[in-house]
Amino acid sequence: MMLDKNDMPAAEATRSRAIRLASQEFDTAFPGQGVLELTLSEALVVALMKQGVRTWFAIFGHGSTDLGEVLRVYHEEGAVQVINCRNEVEMAHAATAHAWVTGQTPAVVTSIGPGGLQAMAGSLAAASNGVGVYHIYGDETTRGEGYNMQQVPKPQQGVFGQIGALMGQAYTLHTPGALRECMRRGTACVHHPYKAGPFYILLPINTQPALTQLNLATLPGKQDVPPVVPVGAALSEAAALIRGGTRAVIKAGGGCRKHSEALRRFACAIGAPVVLSPGSTGVMMDGHVQNMHVGGSKGSISGNFAMQGAELVIIVGSRGVCQADCSGIGYPNARAVININGDLDDLTHYARTTALPGDISAVLTALLSALGKDTGRDARRNWLRDCEAKKAEWTAFKAARISGAPIADVVWKTPVLTQPAAIHAVASFAKAKGAVKFFDAGDVQANGFQIVEDDSPTETVTETGASYMGFAASALLGLAGVKDAPYGVAFTGDGSFMMNPQVLIDAVEHGVRGMIALFDNRRMAAITDLQLAQYGRAFKTNDSVAVDYVAMAGAVSGVKAIWGGTTREELDAALKAGFAHDGLSLLHIPVYAGRDPLAGMGAYGNWNVGNWVEDVQAKYLHATI
């Protein structure tokens, strides 16, 4: 049975439900209510509201008109907010950033076909960084009346659902009555306590307006799993390893972002150096003597020293990413591993592992209890002192680069700031203003996580999981409609920005207050440097087309576009002017690209790529863990 568009009582019932849900919490909006009869589209909106989903990022098309009509009513009554976008990849990034920064679960909705594929491509950032987002795509009808425009043109059932299932978890609402099971599987995915990710709901065009019955009491709410900790011999074994390990290192991965307090207590109690991943800056305060900064192929002098000298490796919330762990050979002297992770797939990545599965904070607390007063801290004093000396060396190295004078550049034909100096200037300004920093892929990102001086994991969002070009600027849209939203600063290169410049329009449309810091060296500098390091020649990683980004951005009403200048003083003035604007600003910052050693922060680890493969794989064969 379908809901007729002229069925006014039904339309009024929809608006009545929207009004009640806008003014009350879900559990009190329908007291004593049992079964409701409503369309699948409205049932889906209501079911997601029970899980706390109130923000929708949307691009409507012929594959989502019915869902769009329900969202129109709910948006008008304030039950949900709908943020219309111009590009599906941008929209996916915005939703990922929204969930990352606010902790609230949003939904992405788009039409059938190319829109869904683009949104799914953008969802790789959420999947790679453990961020839960609902993705809802229109899908081909269930009647098989002939090819639906924009479906995958293949005589096979549910192809989009299969693609979604390959990307993560997916469910096709072929039968409206299956909504409850869809929502149960959905919350298990997007609210997973250890490894959340996107959940793809395929919504056939013809099932959206179909009437279905919904039992509100049995709809699943947001999954909330109690902390899990190991019991038995594993804790005692781990405690014994820590007491006896004089050269121990803690590797804090991205999974530590929500467990920084527990990590800090544990690190200080055992007196071990902490090496960060690109996505975990701030879990240890930047200036803390035990913070060795990032380790890996784009790590730091101190981070890699601690990794290479460690005999005991305590992995906390890390996936064992090849660049961050130097393709598995970053710990050549390690003899044992303690791995603390809720995800069983990542728990035994290394040989010689004592596995401690569960909630990171709970496990660290239990491990400290097992250690008691004998934490082995005194035995590590000399080792920590050696690491502190390397941190001082790294600090001096970094200082020389972030304070470097402008260097003459062949493209700009004048001295301009180096990327480290320019990034540090913007990062320091953002820190002083309490802004959240979003980093794009490429050279800006790599230099950025080596440079930022974070004291909290909430200060920087760096999408290193997928290194998706175009993420940072799009992420600013994730702050749209957020009450008391922080000021956002997107750190992006010229190539990354041009992947998704639509935010220039969308950010103005939705009242986002933030800044795009566009570092322009007219090339893919990260790949250029890799080509030069491996083969001595750069190839097809630059262009000869000059772009006036000030004119481009300034053509959009509401955007304040500013030339960033070629000196630190000019950049500081531009930052102040951009921040003073009540809306979106863009700073076009020319930066040096060349062989001068002050141009970048350098590379220190091993990476299984290019002509380094044979050497790295030979080391991997003889790795100790």
- Residue 97's contacts (CB-CB under 8 Å, 6 or more residues apart) are 438, 461, 471, 474, 475, 476, 477, 478, 479
Is residue 110 within 8 A of residue 138, CB to CB? The reply is yes
The kind and range of the H/E element at 56 are strand 55-58
Task: For residue range 560-602, list pLDDT tens digits in order.
Answer: 999 999 999 999 999 999 999 999 999 999 999 988 989 989 8
Q: Which residue has the tokens 């949104």?
A: 119
The amino acid at 536: G
Check which CATH number belongs to the domain holding 440 and give it: 3.40.50.970
Q: Based on the number of CB atoms within 10 Å of its own CB, is 215 exposed (0-12), middle (13-18) or buried (19 or more)?
A: exposed
Q: Is residue 186 included in any domain, yes or no?
A: yes
- Domain final residue, candidates 393, 423, 457: 393
pLDDT score for 150 = 83
3-class DSSP state for residue 73?
helix
Q: Are residues 353 and 488 in the same domain?
A: no
Is residue 67 within 8 A of residue 75, CB to CB? The reply is no
Q: Are residues 368 and 435 in the same domain?
A: no
* Residues 257-264, mean pLDDT to the nearest whole number: 96
Q: Is residue 458 included in any domain, yes or no?
A: yes
Q: Based on the number of CB atoms within 10 Å of its own CB, is 381 exposed (0-12), middle (13-18) or buried (19 or more)?
A: exposed
- Residue 425's contacts (CB-CB under 8 Å, 6 or more residues apart) are 417, 568, 571, 572, 575
Which of 413, 416, 414, 397 minimizes the C-alpha distance to 405? 416
CA pair distance 345, 581, nearest whole angstrom:
47
- Residue 432's contacts (CB-CB under 8 Å, 6 or more residues apart) are none
Number of domains in the chain: 3
Q: Which residue has the tokens 């609210």?
A: 191
Strands 414-416 and 407-409: antiparallel
The token duo for 39 is: 């369309």
Task: For residue range 393-412, list pLDDT tens digits in order.
Answer: 999 999 999 999 999 999 99
* Percent of the chain at pLDDT exceeding 70: 98
CA distances to 364, 378, 471 from 373, rounded to whole Å, are 15, 11, 46
Q: Are residues 512 and 578 in the same domain?
A: yes
Residue 622 in this model has a pLDDT that exceeds 90: no
Q: Are residues 208 and 252 in the same domain?
A: no
Q: Is residue 614 included in any domain, yes or no?
A: no
The kind and range of the H/E element at 252 are strand 248-252
pLDDT band per the 50, 70, 90 thresholds, residue 467: confident
Q: Are residues 146 and 212 in the same domain?
A: yes
Q: Residues 542, 476, 123, CA angle at the centre, nearest 5°?
A: 75
Is residue 459 within 8 A of residue 484, CB to CB? The reply is no
CA pair distance 218, 333, nearest whole angstrom:
54
pTM of the entire structure?
0.95
Residue 1 in this model has a pLDDT that exceeds 50: no
CA pair distance 143, 516, nearest whole angstrom:
47
Q: Are residues 314 and 202 in the same domain?
A: no
Q: Is residue 402 included in any domain, yes or no?
A: no
Q: Are residues 416 and 350 in the same domain?
A: no
Is residue 120 within 8 A of residue 163, CB to CB? The reply is yes
The token duo for 379 is: 């035995």
* Residues 349-363, mean pLDDT to the nearest whole number: 95
* Residues 386-394, mean pLDDT to the nearest whole number: 97
pLDDT score for 3 = 47
Which of 435, 423, 399 minimizes the C-alpha distance to 515? 435
Q: Is residue 258 included in any domain, yes or no?
A: yes
Q: Are residues 166 and 210 in the same domain?
A: yes
Is residue 507 within 8 A of residue 475, CB to CB? The reply is no
Residue 4 in this model has a pLDDT that exceeds 80: no
CA distances to 10, 35, 68, 562 from 7, rounded to whole Å, are 6, 20, 17, 53
Residue 34 in this model has a pLDDT that exceeds 80: no
Q: HSE-up of 538 (CA within 13 Å, CB side)?
A: 14
Mean pLDDT check: name the lowest of 2-16, 398-412, 585-599, 603-617: 2-16
pLDDT score for 519 = 97
Q: Are residues 355 and 325 in the same domain?
A: yes
Q: Are residues 190 and 305 in the same domain?
A: no
* Residues 478-492, mean pLDDT to the nearest whole number: 96
CA pair distance 141, 204, nearest whole angstrom:
5
CA distances to 50, 160, 230, 343 from 192, rounded to whole Å, are 17, 23, 19, 10
The kind and range of the H/E element at 315 are strand 312-316
CA pair distance 12, 208, nearest whole angstrom:
18
Q: If you ran DSSP here, which 8-state letter would residue 225 be given?
A: P
Quick one: how far is CA 565 from the chain centroid? 30
The token duo for 484 is: 């008391």
Q: Are residues 72 and 174 in the same domain?
A: yes
Which of 307, 297, 587 minimizes the C-alpha distance to 429? 587
Residue 623 in this model has a pLDDT that exceeds 50: yes
Dmax (CA) for the chain in angstroms is: 80
Q: Is residue 110 included in any domain, yes or no?
A: yes
Q: Residue 124's domain spans which residues?
A: 8-218
Mean pLDDT check: name the lowest of 120-134, 380-394, 490-504, 521-535: 521-535
